[in-house]
Each structure stands twice: as C-alpha cells, then as structure tokens.
Structure 1
Amino acid sequence: MTSADTREQVGVGGLGGIDESAFAGLTARHRRELHVHCYRMLGSFEDAEDAVQETLLRAWRRRETFAGRSSLRAWLYRIATNACLDLLARYRPEPATGGEVRWLQPYPDRLLDELPAGDADEPESLAVARETIELAYLVAVQHLAPRPRAVLILRDVLGWPARDVAELLGDSVNSVNSALQRARAGMREHLPAERQDWTGGDGDAQTRELVRRFTDASVAKDVDGLAAMLRDDVRCAMPPTPGLYVGRDAVLHDWVEDGFADLGRLRAVPTAVNRQPAVAFYLWRESEDAYLPLTIDVLRIAGGAVAEIVIFHDDQFPLLGLPQRLPADGAQ
C-alpha cells in the first residue's frame, strides 16, 4: 500500500458505531479516486458512477466488518473492485474485440483535477496516473478479461502487492502473477507502438499549435488541410457507433461519405478530456438561431501529427460541462 494508505486509519473501534452522516463524510474524500478506478475497470463514466454507488452502499451495509486494521481507502478499493467485477459479470462478461470499445465514454479533466495531488517527488507515479486515464489505455484494457484487467489495474496502476491482490480475488499469488503477465502481454497487443513518444496532453506549444490548426481546418471543412495533419496510420472511432477506421485514406473516406464537407457553419470550443486535448464542435441551426452541440473530437498526438481521433456524440456535452448552445456569430 502507499504511504497515504498506511497513514489513514479509522481507529481501533472501526466503523461499527458510526452514523450514516459521519460515514458519508469519511468516504466522500475517496469518491473521485474510486470513480476513476471503476472507470478504468469499466470504460464507461456512467457505469463507473453506478459502481461507486454500489460500492458505498455495500460499504455502509458491511461497515461492522471494517475493524481499522487496514486503511479505509484500501478497504473501499476492495469493495469497488468486486462491485466492478460483479457488474461486468452481469452486463459485459466478454471483453471488447477488434480494437474498438462501443461503450467508451470520456472523462472530463475538470473532474480528474479533483483527484488527490500526487507526490511531486515521484514523477513516474504521476506519469502512470496520466497515461492510464488516456483513451488508448482505456481501449486496450477493455480488451482484457475482467479478472486479469483487475489484476493489471491493481498491480500496475495502484501498486498493490501481489499478496493483497490475491487476497482480494481469492487467488494464489502465483495465479495473480501469471494473470499479470498475460494482461501485460494483452496490453502490448492493443496499445500504440509509439506510446513512449506520446506528448502527454496539450501542455507543449507544438501540440497546442497542432490542435489549433486541426480546429481551424475542421471549422473550414478543409479536408486537404486535415489530411496533412493526420498520420498515415491514424485511427478514428465514434463510440457507440460501430466502426474503427485505420489509416489516413480510410478515415478521410469515412468523413467524406458521412457528409463532413457539406456540413453547415461550425463553431468550436476547446476542452480537455482524459488528459488529452479535445475540441467540441457546434453546428448552426437556423430554426434555433444558435449553434447546437454536434461532436467532441478527442485527439492523441504523436510525432507532431494526429495519431488518433475518438469522436463522441452530442449527448456527452453535459458531462463535460460544455454549453448546450452558442449564440449567432457576433451575438452577445
């Protein structure tokens, strides 16, 4: 467990005599990180919310079983992991296939900012926290079977010892280590080969400039300009719509066939999700005298070019805190 884990002790008396209000206060500080943990397990923001609700309900009902011998945080993570495994067994017993995850949803950076601050002296841990919330990682991990997925996240993301993971899952340490090896091999099959070259978000000037050019070309519906920014092996998906397009020609052909060049007037609002740059596009609707939500393009940049675009539908705008309409050009 981390040092933060070992410091947080509820006390010898545990939670047996605590009232509901006090219990809610104790668990509230862990809610965001539990939600992110469930999101990694499930790939869906909404499913993660359901899993957290179930976690806190189970924790309240089982509060007398917590005696304070371990941290409250670790105890909650155990319950949350089992809640996710139960949800997967009921609704998604089979992992994703074919490189796409149709249930994938974005995670707003503004909510990720609520996570406890990492240790500035441990840059490797900060890098892991960032990389394991990016969409390419989420897609790859959803291709693992549920139990190896849990092992990978608990061991490689949270840093749990193998014996603790084995206890949680009711397995032997050898079984956990074997599952971890298989999970790592599975991730290598689905993660981009150039992962070590990711820019890590939109913080550098080169990335910001590329996102600006991508935005301007999209608003202008400049297909040739967009083509110049895409890698030869660019990937594009639009969950939950089925279809994964790989390669510049395939992606551009899909856009043209989908009528991109014939869209009406567009406006764009920059945003950020999953620690990646993103652009929210709005389409002019004459009947509403306003620009209304269209899509959110989340970009992965590698080698100074767009390596992946995940496009989310307009139903995700409220989740990201984006406006539901923009005024006419020049209007206040």
Structure 2
Amino acid sequence: MPSHNYLNTISLTPRKELQTFVEHRRVFNLNNCELNIFESYEETYRVPLTFNDFVITSMMRGKKIVHLFEKPAFTYLPGETAIAAGNEPMVIDFPEASELNPTQCVALAIASGYINDTLGYLNNHYNSDPDIKHNWKLQFNQYHFNNDAEITDIINKLIRICSSSDTAKNIYADLNLKELLIRLVQSQHMIQTASEASEISNRTRLHYILNYIHENLTGKIAVDTLSRKAYMSRNDFFKWFRQQFGITPLDYINSERIKLAKQLLSYGSHSITEVSYRCGFSDVNYFVRLFKKVEGITPKVYKDLSCMRID
C-alpha cells in the first residue's frame, strides 16, 4: 500500500555522468556522517553492499528486494526506512529497475563514536524513571519500518544539509543527527514494548498502559483515565509518554486504531462506517480524514486495492 511520508525527490544523475548502471553512488562527507545516494538503472540480482558504520537507509524511487540479517528478504519501497549495523552484509535485488524506472536510495552512515556519545548522553540525562528500567540503545530486531512524518522531515533536512556548501553544515547536521537517532530509538522502544504488553502487562507501568490501550481500542479511551492508571497528573503523563515514544498518547491510540482499521478493510466485508465504529471512532468523517493523513489514501481506496490484491 502507498505510504504518505515520502522523502523529497532528488534529481537523478545525468546519464553521461553515470559510472555504472547498478548502484551508481554520490557521496557527501561530513565530520560525523556520510551521505550516500545510490541509483540503479537496470534489472540485476544479488548485489552485495556493506557499510563500515551504522547506516540508516531510505527509499526514494523504485523497488528493491533486500536480504539482511539472515532474515527473510523484504520488499523495499519509497516511504520506508531500514537500518543496519556496521559491517553487516546486505544483498540487494533490483527486479524492476530500468532507465525509465530507476531506483534511488539514500544511505546515511554515522560514525560509531558519535552514536555511542549520543546514546550515553541520553542514558545519563533522560533515563530517570526507575519503573522503565531500559537503556537508550539501537536494536536490530526491528530494522525495516515505514517513515513517520518526523523521520521524513529530519532525513529531508539532512539531505539538504549534507549536499549544501554551507560552511556551518557540520553544526546543522549534528543537531539533526541527534534528533534522528532519538526518533529511531523511541520508535523501536515503542514497537518492542507494545509487542510485550499483552504477555507481561504488569512488568512496568508502560506495559500496563499499552496493554490497556490495546484491549480498549474499540471503545472510548480517555487520557484522564490513562493518567490515573499511570498514577500521574495529566500533564506529567503527557510528558512521560512523549519522552518514551516521541509521540502523544492520542497519536499512539490513533495509530493503533488505523492499524486495526486496515486489517478490517483488508479481510472483512465491513462498510467504512462499520470499520470506523469498530475501531473506536465516533465520527466517520474524522476517521476518513485521519486514515488519509496516515496512509495517503482514503479507507475506500485502501479497501478496493486490498480486494484487488486478494482476487
């Protein structure tokens, strides 16, 4: 399905300047990172690729099939991001690449010392809740995900900064790299905690709150109720939740409801109105607007595309 959060397009390399039709590479070096722009113009398979440092990649055009971490291969499309550790071998297929339909991907390699310093700072200054008992760290059990709006905005900024001639670009890049790392860690922490919540809901206050949200998605979930269950004031609860995940409680509730709506639209015979109410939305028009904002298409278009795919 289409993703709403595409990166801004980058001009393709003029044909006369291409050194290869497979993974032609442009490189921009800064103090703590290296921005690579890869383009491929012909169908090919089993292309190896390895970076010395931790790398954040995002698709901009076309389609790849990526083999990573000895896991099943995944289809890599625009609006998606993948991460890999330094010296982690990747193997990439380009089943649809051509001069008329090239692939384009950005890869941001970040120095390990910079990552360690940033995570160390976060652990020293933003790990004050003894109930959570987790460290700020990058994990690789979750390595392929859709861009959210914040991640897309940061990567767009970093592309502009790295490719500019601004003499202060290392300063600007440093600020945006830190935010990007924080967003990625928060996203991974949210996915990990949510996956554990149903089985170990009483381990931490955070597991308990997420499990309560999941069990009550189809009904009304008041933030005041959540804050009481967390034994916090409303304001403190908002700050605490956002510090853990980078989003508000309402954003999280809505994102989980949209996931449920996609399941119902894909595999059920429910109408758009029925799906809206079953996912806890009392206003169908609001549901349609939110769905389009998140997915880039309306629930009806999503449902029609899902039916075509199943047929």
Give the TM bin, normalised by the shorter chain.
Answer: 0.3 to 0.5
Normalising by structure 2, we get a TM-score of: 0.35
Higher helix share: 1
Normalising by structure 1, we get a TM-score of: 0.33
